Structure 1
Amino acid sequence: MSTERTDHELLRAHVDGDPEAFGILFHRHRDRLWAVALRTMGNREDAADGLQDGLVAAYRRAATFRGDAAVTTWLHRVVVNACLDRIRAAKVRRTETLPDDLEEYRDRGSLAAAAPAADDPADLSVREERRRLVLGALAELPAEQRAALVLVDMEGYPVADAAAMLDCAVGTVKSRCSRGRARLAELLAPLLDDGSSEPDHALPRNPVCPGPVESDDAPRGPPTPA
């Protein structure tokens, strides 16, 4: 059956003219591609545009895929580059917090764990405020640093895989992550030094991997390409 074909087989079938192959390939990886675009761009509208740009580029450039990496790595590279191109073109310096509707995709891509429920409304309010501060700090990083941290610290990809997706050297990814973590440590100093004796799952892990923010809104999934 077509849905049992490998990623390489689907991409090759698309190049050979199969009208359904690329759609099957996209739906297979859409959750994680959407999560990466969402966290990289910082809001749903720009993430949808970045993802759309990336998918159009992948659709048109499929014949250039050399097969020297996994198809999913190549797809991530195209989507991340499309998002970074949009950020650079608009010279965006994000000040709003990152989106909070990733909970739906937690078990189908992102390795960030959900925060435990808080019984006390006051505790829940504090946790939500801290999550907003953490995600807001991440949004202030330069786009390249944010992309590296999203892939390595939030999505859990090995540094080598992230380097392939970002089309740069392993050392460059490590450097971007290091600088990004150092900057986040400065931005989040009030949270890290608040003297709280209990672990707070809103604080960064690894050391900067904020978990998904709980939301009262129904989560919305990634857009389907036109």
Structure 2
Amino acid sequence: MDEAALVMAARDGDQRAFADLVNAHRNQIWAVCLQICGNQHDAEDALQATLLAAWRNLDKFRGEARFSTWMHRIAANNALALIRKRKANTTLTDFSDPEAPVTLDADDSAPRFDEQIALRDALRDALQQLSDDIREAVVLREFGDFSYADIAEHQGVGVQTVKSRLNRGRTQLAQYLRVNTTVEP
């Protein structure tokens, strides 16, 4: 069954068709939630809210954009709403020394896997330092494989604004990683 037929079946209440639609895009939807939220627990909450919202609002999907674009928009909006809510309701205390850089074990026998994990964690921390609009653009482009035009439509801005946000985001990420890690971005 093609995507349009699956959407029609899901609108008629076919949960299997909806599951097929979601399964085709689940990895990208999860990546968007995880990268925007910054942790698995919040990403799971955002993903659950996304799936529920998509199911409840299938009748509002007009088909002007691809189904995946529509789902990514819902995921990004839910993830951003969740972190805004958490920020408003939570006071975070950082007990670490802000002057101490993150370092990896310099032992040459350390597996490359450790460096990958350290870089992933540092990147997640760096993403949290970006403003919401820049983080969303970076996540949609780098983890959601969105085109500039799709991101522009999603954010309600022009393509040049998206390119500017991506440029600023990449610059800020690289700067954060250079200052806060020993891993090269």
TM-score (norm 2): 0.76
> 2: distance between equivalents of 1:123 and 1:72?
34
Q: What corresponds to 1:58 in structure 2?
A: 54
> 2: distance between equivalents of 1:6 and 1:71?
11
| Residue 11 of structure 2 corresponds to residue 22 of structure 1 | no
State how 1:25-104 maps to structure 2 within 5 Å: 25-91=21-87
Distance 1:122 1:10, change over 3 A: closer
> 2: distance between equivalents of 1:95 and 1:173?
33
Q: What corresponds to 1:162 in structure 2?
A: 151
Partner AA of 1:185 in structure 2: A
Query: Any unmatched runs of 5+ in structure 2?
Result: 95-107
> 2: distance between equivalents of 1:122 and 1:140?
28
Per-residue deviation, residues 157-205 of structure 1 (Å, max 9, x unmatched): 321122334444323322321222232233233479x7xxxxxxx643x
Partner AA of 1:142 in structure 2: S
Partner AA of 2:171 in structure 1: A
> 2: distance between equivalents of 1:28 and 1:123?
31
Partner AA of 1:72 in structure 2: S
| Residue 183 of structure 2 corresponds to residue 184 of structure 1 | no
Q: Report if the CA contact (8 A) 2:43-2:79 is conserved.
A: yes
Q: Report if the CA contact (8 A) 1:138-1:146 is conserved.
A: yes
Identity among equivalent positions (%) equals: 38
Q: 2:137 aligns with which of 148, 152, 161?
A: 148
> 2: distance between equivalents of 1:131 and 1:17?
39
Q: What corresponds to 1:137 in structure 2?
A: 126
| Residue 110 of structure 2 corresponds to residue 121 of structure 1 | yes
Per-residue deviation, residues 42-100 of structure 1 (Å, max 9, x unmatched): 1111001111111111111111111111111111111111111112222379999xxxx
Distance 1:6 1:95, change over 3 A: farther
What is the number of residues matched between the two proteins? 171
TM-score (norm 1): 0.64
- 1:27 shift after superposition: 1.6
> 2: distance between equivalents of 1:163 and 1:13?
30
- 1:127 shift after superposition: 5.7
Q: 1:11 aligns with which of 7, 23, 35?
A: 7
Q: Report if the CA contact (8 A) 1:152-1:162 is conserved.
A: yes
Q: What corresponds to 1:212 in structure 2?
A: none
> 1: distance between equivalents of 2:26 and 2:68?
10
Q: Report if the CA contact (8 A) 2:38-2:125 is conserved.
A: no
Higher mean alpha-carbon deviation, 10-19 vs 41-50, is at 10-19
